Amino acid sequence: MNKFEQLGLNESLLKAILDLGFENPSEVQEKAIPLLLEKDTDMVALAQTGTGKTAAFGFPLIQKIDADNRNTQALVLSPTRELCLQITNELKNYSKYEKGINVVAVYGGASITEQAREIKRGAQIIVATPGRMQDMINRGLVNIKNIDYCVLDEADEMLNMGFYEDIVSILSDTPDEKSTWLFSATMPQEVARIAKQFMSEPVEITVGTKNSGSSTVSHEFYLVNARDRYEALKRLADANPDIFSVVFCRTKRDTQAIAEKLIEDGYSAAALHGDLSQAQRDGVMKSFRGRQIQMLVATDVAARGIDVDNVTHVVNYQLPDEIETYNHRSGRTGRAGKLGTSIVIVTKSELRKISSIERIIKQKFEEKTIPSGIEICEIQLLHLANKIKDTEVDHEIDNYLPAINNVLEDLSKEELIKKMVSVEFNRFIAYYKKNRDISAQSSGERRERGDSEPREFNNNGAVRYFVNIGSRDNFDWMSLKDYLKETLDLGRDDVFKVDVKEGFSFFNTDPEHTDKVMDILNNVQLEGRRINVEISKNDGGGRRDHNNRGGRRDSGRREGNFAPRREGSGGFRGDRNSSPRREGSGGGFRGERNSAPREGGFRRNEGGSDRAPRRSESFGDSPRPRRPRRD
């Protein structure tokens, strides 16, 4: 008797399982299946991605459905079209030896009448995305008033995508006597609330640890059009001023080309690939370790085993041919217990690879939007302000102060601040002011709601805020949302589009909460630190009328006041990637990388020790924004 038999599964399922090649049940299957088969109970099952949850509910569901009855008996809700199709397909596989069971997938972006027709023919099981399901109910195309089972698959993800209301509404259309099975990787408050509201004494199953990803690496993808790949890379770098990253390309040629472009655009980058000599590679690695390089553009082979600590981001500029390779790439960050982010820049046609990778890494990706120019300006501006604040003063400068004071004495403190910031910042504003939004529209299914719609519609009327707390304060989007709701005494849907960065975050509310947000948040402290919240000019494209960050406006107006020399010498870039001290201490990478970009973005001189300090001044980073893309 094999292990699946012991769980109480019937002949036809066991046969199907044999075909599937499953030898032993996974932990969640072992725990859930007997319970679900035995009695009609509600269940909450928490298990990471890739632990076999589909079969954990799918096997018992198939066994319990009455195949002779053509009425709809079960509804499975799932967050995306892709998952919806995947589950449908799995359920069909499980039931292939069980005559008469029909499983129909219901999801947006396909003909609703065709789906309705399929249901009419008799579908015992409907697998649906919440949005489309709600649509069908509204149009009276489906009847779920007599179902026996309702499965909420990936409940956290569904709620994360803003399906709360749809779910509530759909559930209230189902009978009270049904059994509800909720599957989720994590248990945020919203999920707990659904469970509390719609389930009665659910059995709880937990596999692995609650609420924690197994690793310190979080995975994000950004959907762009193929032609915007490079621009997206630059923006991601700009949106993460302290980025220290390995950027993966597929071929040596791309690796070389991207590194060169980055260098040309003013980033501290270098290429690492097999066409470099050993000495050149050593030199690159030495500079990378020494942090003179912020973006190491590498091939998979060349980057194998790179063991540099504190890499903040792995960027998959292109996905690897073999998706298994992804694991090796993302393992370059999140080392030694540090947090890291693995980013994938992806085009629509590659989207399905994301799901395959999710299965391999047993973790979910978060879909993110390429930051808008305004968002980047905000990030950079704050970064600059913090830099000014944290700068240690070398008292050599005291000798020059009388002369400097002479020039600046008529300026008020406010003016001085504005001007100082503008020195560094005008270029960013000028560059990003005219730049378009490059986020491609989502597949519309992977994120059926939320980000899939053009943000204009999404954010309509909402107010976006900028707040000076972030992942550094141990927040992620869920905990920050919770914190804001609690602190502001707002309802569950009142805070949305929470986007957590390292030192700060963005979030949205409807305008009626603005006074509350500004009053309360600006007067609370977090572990002794004052929270500062501002209305962000960046509303994700919907509203452009919040403009009370006068500083930026002013600095924008003053754009062009500076001599070109000024810009060329020691701009924003230089400071952000290495301290002046570093530059002084031997030219660093900046001199090198410009001297021979065609050598892998690295100087021809090998070894990296005989730097040319003379050169560094003339390479005072030209700010990237001065070189907008040609296309």
Residue whose beta carbon is closest to Mg ion = 53
Determine if 55 is a binding residue for ligand ADP (CB under 6 A): yes
CA 89, distance to chain mean position in Å, is 28
Give the C-alpha separation, 516 to 485, whole Å.
Answer: 11
Question: How does strand 340-346 pair with strand 103-106?
Answer: unpaired
Range 132-171, binding ligand ADP (CB under 6 A): none
Q: Does 52 bind ligand ADP (CB under 6 A)?
A: yes
Cβ burial of 511 (10 Å; 0-12, 13-18, 19+) is exposed
Q: What phi and psi, each to the nearest 5 degrees, are found at residue 192?
A: -60, -40
Residue 26 near ligand ADP by CB under 6 A = yes
Coil, helix or strand at residue 226: helix
Tell which residue, 598, 592, 609, 601, has the closest CA to residue 272. 601
Q: Decide if residue 51 touches ligand ADP (CB under 6 A).
A: yes
* CA-wise closest residue to 185 among 369, 366, 370: 366
Alpha carbons 518 and 533: distance in angstroms, whole number: 7
Nearer to ligand ADP, 364 or 590 (CB): 364
CA distances 460 to 223, 373, 541, 542, Å, are 22, 19, 9, 5
The least distance separating ligand ADP from the CB of residue 4, rounded to whole angstroms, comes to 8
Stretch that binds ligand ADP, among 51-59, 380-388, 462-470, 585-593 (CB under 6 A): 51-59
Tokens read off for 303: 């980057």
Nearer to ligand ADP, 25 or 266 (CB): 25
- Residue 221: closest CA among 406, 431, 451, 37: 451
* Cβ-based nearer residue to ligand ADP, 45 or 247: 45
Q: Is 186 near ligand ADP (CB under 6 A)? A: no
Count Cβ atoms below 10 Å from residue 24 Cβ, excluding itself: 10
Q: Is 22 in the site for ligand ADP (CB under 6 A)?
A: yes
Q: Which is nearer to Mg ion, 50 or 551 (CB)?
A: 50
50 binds ligand ADP (CB under 6 A): yes
Stretch in the footprint of Mg ion (CB under 5 A) among 51-59, 322-330, 416-424, 472-480: 51-59
Question: What residue type is 505 in one-letter code?
Answer: S
User: Which of the stretches 47-55, 63-71, 126-134, 493-501 binds ligand ADP when contact is defined by CB under 6 A?
Assistant: 47-55
Q: From the list ligand ADP, Mg ion, none, pick the one residue 334 interacts with, judged by a Cβ distance below 5 to 8 Å according to partner type.
A: none
Q: Interacting stretch for Mg ion, rule CB under 5 A, among 53-61, 335-343, 355-363, 590-598?
A: 53-61
Nearest to 122 by CA among 143, 137, 139, 140: 143
**Cα torsion for 534, 188, 62, 100, to the nearest 10°?**
-20
By C-beta, is 55 or 423 nearer to ligand ADP?
55
54 binds ligand ADP (CB under 6 A): yes
Task: With contacts defined by CB under 5 A, name the span among 8-16, 46-54, 541-549, 577-585 that binds Mg ion.
Answer: 46-54
Write down the least CB distance from residue 52 to Mg ion, Å. 8
Pattern 347-386, binding to ligand ADP, x per CB under 6 A? ------------x---------------------------
Residue among 58 and 371 whose Cβ is closer to Mg ion: 58
Least gap, CB of 154 to Mg ion (angstroms): 6
DSSP result, 406-471 = HHHTTS-HHHHHHHHHHHHHHHHHHHHHTPPP-BPPP-SSTTSSGGGS-HHHHTTT-EEEEES--G
Per rule CB under 6 A, count of chain residues that contact ligand ADP? 14
* Residue found by looking up tokens 């972030």 in the block: 470
Query: DSSP class of residue 350?
Result: G
- Binder among 46, 48, 53, 65 for Mg ion (CB under 5 A): 53
Number of residues located near Mg ion, criterion CB under 5 A: 1
Q: Which stretch binds ligand ADP (CB under 6 A): 49-57, 116-124, 156-164, 402-410?
A: 49-57
- Please state, in angstroms and rounded to a whole number, the distance separating the CA atoms of residues 283 and 257: 19
The answer to whether 446 contacts Mg ion (rule: CB under 5 A) is: no
**From 7, 9, 12, 29, residue interacting with ligand ADP (rule: CB under 6 A):** 29
Q: Give the residue, chosen from 12, 49, 325, 458, that forms a contact with ligand ADP under the rule CB under 6 A.
A: 49
Q: How far is it, in rounded angstroms, from Cα 475 to Cα 59?
A: 38
Instruction: Please report, as ranges, the residues that interact with ligand ADP according to CB under 6 A.
Output: 22, 24-26, 29, 47, 49-55, 359
List interacting residues with Mg ion (CB under 5 A).
53
